[in-house]
Structure 1
Amino acid sequence: MYGIVLILVLVITGGIIAVIGDRMGTKIGKKRLSLFGLRPRHTSTIVTIVTGVVITTLTFFILAAASENVRTALFGMEKLNRSMQQTEEKLKSASEDLTAARAEQSRADAALAELKDSVRSMEEEAERLAAGNRALAEQKDALARDNAALDGMNRSLTAENTALDAANETLLASNAQLADDKATLEKRTQELRRGIELIREGDIVYRAGEVIAAGVIKGNRPENEVRVDINALAQLASRNVSAHLGKDLPDGEIWVYAPEVDDAVGRIAKASHDMVVRIVAASNLVRGEAVRAALDLHPNSIVYRKGEFIIAQSYILKNRGGKQASEEIVMDFLKRVNAAASAHGILPDPIRGTVGVIDAQQIYDIVEKIEPLSGTIVLSAYAHDDTDALGPLRLDIKIERESQ
């Protein structure tokens, strides 16, 4: 709106000045006035020019007075151009700075993205490390338990090493003993070669496997005590051999392989129960030769209590079968008792296979009782005393008629 008013003012002002100039030129022309000695026509032209100049000057003056922009355009254009140039340069610099800033922002965004990726990686790594720390803590606890177990094993191994050292010393002593035994065996081998010929023609005192002496030795005791008992049993065997030969040793000298004795001592010392130990002839004993024996070990326990039933068997007698039939019945029954007792745990004699003792008088009395009977009878056997595995088994035999 301001520009329209300014234009109207300029138009009106220019029109007024033009009218005034026209009228002045007309008057000058009519009056034929002359300026500066010029012709009237030239003077009129000059007035017209002056009028135009005045119009233009007044126009610029009004515009300059009315608008700062006009004043700036008229008088400060060069400054404005310099300012615009500086502004353009600043704008260009700002644009370059903006471009650089955007590039820097892009780099910063990329760096930020990389940093975020790094942060995620670090968080994942931290989680892995935390899991690793937990696993290490568990492993540490397991290692602590393992170390405790290993300490216990070390202590156990130390004790075992001590025991092994003691065993090694024992083995060294045993090796020395074995060396001595080897020399003795070589000597015995020569004697055995000569003994083979004697066995064929000589007087056999004990057969191979025959019991020379037997006894019960308590288990779960120190080895030295067990060894004393075995030596005592060996002395008993020597006395039995001497009595059998009718003269004192050395003809009946007892010889047992030393490692076999050591093994028997160790087994009995560790046993939680008593052991039956029988010294048996290792080979046929010829009169005049040393007794080569072996040790036979068996766990001992009470097999039959006093009065305990062993076996019963029925027999049929036909019209008083007589003494021979009665004896056959008794012998058959004793064989059955022997088999039952052996199966029950009493050790039989290695040569005869018997487990008990019964004298001729007892057999005779039983035969006498059976002989007059007829029909079906039942023989029953009972233990006369408490009897262990070593035996011998002594019997009480009852004779009953079977009820019809």
Structure 2
Amino acid sequence: MTGWLLILSLLVLGGVLSTLGDRLGSRVGKARLSLFNLRPRRTAVFITVLTGSLISALSLGLMLLVSRQLRVGLFELDDLQAKLQQSRDALNSSRSAQFNAELDLKQARSDSNQVQNELKQAKKRATALRNELAPLQKQRQQLEAERARLSRDISKKDADIRRTEVELANVRSRISAAEKELKQLETNLIALRRGDVVLSSGQQLAAATLRLDNPSQAKAVIDRLLQEANLEAFRRVRPGEEANRQILLVPRTDINRIEQIIRKPGTWVVYVRSAANVLRGENVVYAFPDARQNINIVRQGEVLARTTLDQNEKSSETVRNRLSLLLASTLAEVKRRGSLSSGLQFDGSEMNRLGKALLNRSQERIELEAVALRNSDTADPVAVVLQPVGGPWTKIAEDKP
């Protein structure tokens, strides 16, 4: 309805302006007016043309003022067509995406149906496996119980085997020590036939525990230790004489080797020992130096060796031999760890009390252990106590009938 009103208004406005223009042109022609130095006739034509242009401008202005659609169509038509084309392209893309989505949805539904079928089959298989697993689990429990019983039996047998191996190792160690002692006795016997042996092979002449602040001190320290060893050798080999000369002979290569060792960081134990048996009155004592790093050998409360007294080992000789074997095994253990101690420190009275308690014991079988009384380093003496496994020896006396 608005469009028809606009057209009607344009027609009316055009007719009014045309009439006004015609009358204005006629009056200008009759009045023979002249504009811009034009002839009157030309001036009338100019007025008529100007009036027509005014009619067109007013008509267009009125249409643009009244109709928003005309304004949009006249000034924004190209943009609207571009947006329309983009919308059409987007619509086509959306339709394509929708089509692909529908295909994916169909495929997903198909896959879902397949998964559900597989799930049903899996549930059926799981139910069947549970039914098969129940008797197997029961059988496994029976087998585990049997395995536990067998493990206990094997553990007991392993313990017996280990105990036997320890005893065998102790016996072998004792035999080896006895063989070495026999060889040493034979060597000493030969030496005794020649004279008095005042230094035995391997006997220590001097020892020192040191930690160098400066590696250049190594030579002076070794020289001082060799002097002490020479004085000790002179005192033993030629007693009563003034130690006014060098009787100790040590290879220079060994001295250089020891110097290189103690130059390294750490605490070192350096000692000099006799290289062979030496008779009283000899003029030369051959010796060799050695060095070991001063480290912890045993810790307080540490079990160093064990042995077992069986039910038939109740005689005094058997108990004494077993205690001696335990001490020998302990000394061999600390020697194996690197101790320079020539023997063990222990309380003799406590050892006698332990022996008496073992003779009067009521247990058929008892295990004994050698326990370190304090921490000991490489050059320190090793102090031990012998006691039953698990507690002091006084508990044995409490079990007497």
Which TM-score band applies after superposition, normalised by the shorter structure? 0.3 to 0.5
Structure with greater Cα Rg:
1
Normalised by the size of structure 2, how large is the TM-score? 0.43
